[in-house]
């Protein structure tokens, strides 16, 4: 593979010829790719962002189907990038409490922000709003260009340049190529980077639900024998739900009419939000655990879901990706200060060492939770109910879990640090 790549490099490099050289080409202008572009743009580096799709529309009347629970650390990043005001002016929903319980017993845990002296546990924000806010910031920088609809079809690396081919036939030359193109990353595949992981044989069914009861700005999640079901508050008496189900169940529930669907949802979740009144369009997404064996190669780096995808049960996926973006920005800006080559493998390895451990820890924790709550064996259900109730009464442990879930622990990148 290595030899083949070198051979292709030599031929292709001559074929492509020298064109105007970029400093960084980012494939994927989703939440993570757009955040990275914003974070590096003030340096003046020439950056090209490429995406297959135009920026998503924001509707004033309908909620986006895709939403994210945003941690304090990610909100720090958005604030530092001057993107948070845009999001607040559109729609963001803070939450102050979180309740998690096991449907197979009476174990439960309740987190309240008042216990840790912060002002909120996090925010639920529609993905389209996050992406638009970041791309709006990107548009203020003359040194950043966004190209869409366009896709990468190939790239080759030479000593001091990566030559990139796009589907339209356009060719780019850059010091560094970044794959922020999601879990099915083309950049990762073209780089020959393999992944480890497995499909959960589950789909995440998402939709917006209106309930008679008020959510009290609290995230609620029940672990059902079939998988977790979460209610995330996004509007007055309105929540976005993520329901993890087997493929067959997801298909069946997606095809029910609204009334039947609401009946099943009510019976699965119970009455804590009153009656389920109305449901919007439904969509399903495959759930998997996937980790790239490498995050970097000479002149190539992967960030966000391109490098790691996890189960959404703790709403951490995009938060890990934003931490990648902020950390890679730190590493690249430091390299620039030291007049080092930003595509050099020694520079990029620093980013990989920084992020891989954190990402692996979060992935292993989420996978453990998924398995623990997926088991129907009586000793396991008994122990996990006991564990939840014990944890609920252990204030220091609860505080530690809350601070970790808010992204405030560990080695934070500059953009993610609190500003007092």
Ligand X SMILES: Cc1cc2nc3c(=O)[nH]c(=O)nc-3n(C[C@H](O)[C@H](O)[C@H](O)COP(=O)(O)OP(=O)(O)OC[C@H]3O[C@@H](n4cnc5c(N)ncnc54)[C@H](O)[C@@H]3O)c2cc1C
309, containing H or E segment: strand 308-309
- Segment 267-296, which members bind ligand X (CB under 6 A)? 285
Contact window for ligand X (CB under 6 A) among 7-15, 47-55, 210-218, 378-386? 47-55
For ligand X, what does the binding mask look like between residues 234 and 253, x meaning CB under 6 A?
Answer: --------x-----------
Q: Which residues contact 352 (CB under 8 A, 6 or more apart)?
A: 294, 295, 296, 301
Nearer to ligand X, 287 or 347 (CB): 287
Residue 60: Cβ-neighbour burial (10 angstroms; 0-12, 13-18, 19+): exposed
The DSSP symbol for 406 reads T
Candidate segments 15-23, 212-220, 316-324, 361-369, binder of ligand X by CB under 6 A: 316-324
The window from 11-19, 177-185, 250-258, 335-343 that contacts ligand X (CB under 6 A) reads: 177-185
DSSP per position, 5-46: HHHHHHHHHHHH---PEEEEEEE--SHHHHHHHHHHGGGT--
Give kind and range of the element (H or E) at residue 402: helix 395-405
Subset of 50-89 contacting ligand X (CB under 6 A): 50-53, 68-69
What DSSP string runs through 177-212? Answer: EEE-S-TT-HHHHHTT--EEEEEEEEEEEEEEEEES
Please, what is the minimum distance in Å from the beta carbon of residue 303 to ligand X?
Answer: 7
The correct pick among 165, 305, 330, 358 for binding ligand X (CB under 6 A) is 305
- Selected from 9, 30, 157, 407, the binder of ligand X by CB under 6 A is 30
Rounded Cα–Cα distance for residues 230 and 315 (Å): 10
Is there binding between residue 317 and ligand X (CB under 6 A)? Answer: yes
- Residue 343 within binding range of ligand X, rule CB under 6 A: no
| 242: nearest Cα among 307, 287, 183, 291 | 287
Contact predicate 33/26, CB 8 Å: yes
Residue 304 binds to ligand X (criterion: CB under 6 A): yes
Minimum separation from the CB atom of position 394 to ligand X (A): 26
Sign of torsion over alpha carbons 304, 319, 36, 301: negative
The DSSP H or E segment spanning 153 is: strand 152-157
Q: Is 327 in the site for ligand X (CB under 6 A)?
A: no
Nearer to ligand X, 251 or 271 (CB): 251
Rule CB under 6 A: choose which of 23, 64, 126, 181 binds ligand X: 181
Question: How many binding residues for ligand X (CB under 6 A)?
Answer: 32
The verdict on whether omega for the bond into residue 129 sits within 30 degrees of 0, i.e. cis, is no
Contact status: 186 vs ligand X (CB under 6 A): yes
Q: Is 174 in the site for ligand X (CB under 6 A)?
A: no
Asked whether position 152 contacts ligand X by CB under 6 A, the answer is: yes
Q: Decide the pairing of beta strands 47-50 and 21-27.
A: parallel
98 counts as binding ligand X under rule CB under 6 A: no
Q: By rule CB under 6 A, what string of x and - marks binding of each residue 188-217 to ligand X?
A: ----------------x-x-----------
- DSSP letters of 360-378? HHHHHHHHHHHHHHH---H
- Contacts to ligand X by CB under 6 A: 27-33, 50-53, 68-69, 151-152, 180-182, 186, 204, 206, 242, 285, 304-305, 312, 315-319, 321
């Amino acid at each position: 593979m290595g030899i083949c790549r070198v051979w292709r490099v030599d031929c292709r490099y001559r074929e492509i010829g020298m064109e105007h050289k970029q400093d960084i080409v980012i494939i994927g202008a989703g939440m993570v790719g757009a955040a990275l572009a914003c974070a590096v743009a003030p340096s003046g580096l020439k950056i090209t962002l490429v995406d297959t799709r135009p920026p998503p529309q924001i509707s004033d009347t309908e909620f986006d189907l895709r939403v994210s629970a945003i941690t304090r650390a990610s909100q720090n990043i958005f604030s530092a990038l001057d993107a948070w005001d845009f999001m607040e002016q559109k729609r963001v929903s803070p939450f102050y409490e979180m309740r998690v319980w096991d449907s197979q017993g009476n174990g439960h845990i309740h987190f309240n922000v008042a216990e840790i002296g912060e002002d909120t546990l996090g925010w639920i924000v529609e993905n389209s709003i996050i992406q638009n806010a970041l791309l709006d910031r990107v548009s203020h920088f003359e040194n950043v260009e966004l190209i869409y609809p366009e896709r990468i079809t190939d790239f080759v690396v030479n000593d001091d340049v990566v030559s990139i081919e796009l589907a339209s036939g356009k060719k780019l030359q850059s010091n560094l190529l970044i794959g922020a193109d999601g879990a099915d990353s083309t950049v990762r595949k073209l780089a020959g980077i393999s992944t480890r992981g497995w499909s959960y044989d589950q789909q995440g069914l998402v939709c917006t639900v209106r309930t008679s009861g008020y959510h009290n700005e609290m995230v609620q999640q029940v672990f059902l024998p079939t998988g977790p079901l979460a209610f995330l508050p996004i509007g007055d008496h309105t929540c976005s739900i993520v329901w993890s189900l087997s493929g067959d169940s997801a298909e069946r529930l997606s095809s029910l009419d609204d009334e039947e669907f609401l009946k099943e949802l009510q019976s699965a979740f119970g009455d804590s939000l009153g009656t389920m009144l109305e449901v919007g369009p439904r969509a399903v997404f495959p759930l998997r655990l996937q980790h790239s064996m490498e995050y970097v190669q000479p002149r190539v780096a992967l960030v966000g879901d391109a490098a790691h995808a996890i189960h959404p049960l703790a709403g951490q996926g995009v938060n890990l990706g934003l931490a990648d973006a902020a950390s890679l920005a730190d590493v690249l800006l430091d390299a620039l200060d030291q007049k080092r080559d930003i595509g050099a493998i020694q520079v990029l390895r620093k980013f990989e060492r920084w992020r891989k451990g954190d990402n692996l820890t979060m992935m292993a924790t989420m996978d453990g939770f998924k398995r623990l709550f997926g088991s129907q064996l009586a000793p396991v259900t008994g122990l996990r109910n006991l564990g939840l109730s014990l944890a609920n009464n252990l204030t220091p442990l609860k505080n530690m879990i809350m601070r970790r879930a808010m992204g405030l622990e560990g080695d934070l990148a500059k953009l993610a640090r609190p500003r007092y």
